Structure 1
Amino acid sequence: MSGLMQMEDEQGKKLCDDEVVDNIVSLVLAGYESTSNAIMWAAYHLAKSPHALRKLREENESISRDKNGGFITLDDIPSMKYTAKVVEETIRVANVAPMVHRVAHRDVEYRGYTIPKGWRVVVWLRSLHTDANYYDDPLSFNPDRWDKPPKPGTYQVFGGGPRICAGNMLARLQLIIMLHHLAVGYKWELLNPDDEVAYLPHLKPVDGAAMSFSKLSSR
Structure 2
Amino acid sequence: MPRRKGAPEVNAGSMADIAFLLLIFFLVTTTIETDAGLDRMLPPFEPPTEEPPVIKQKNIFTVSINRNGQLLVEEKLMELTDLRKAATAFLENGGDGTCTYCKGKKDPNSSDNPVKAIISLKNDRETKYSTYITVQNELVGAYNDLRNREAQARYGRDFTDMESEYLNPETPTAVRDDLKEKVKKIQDLFPQKLSEAETSGNN
TM-score by length of 1: 0.21
Give 1 or 2 for the bigger CA radius of gyration: 2
Higher helix share: 1
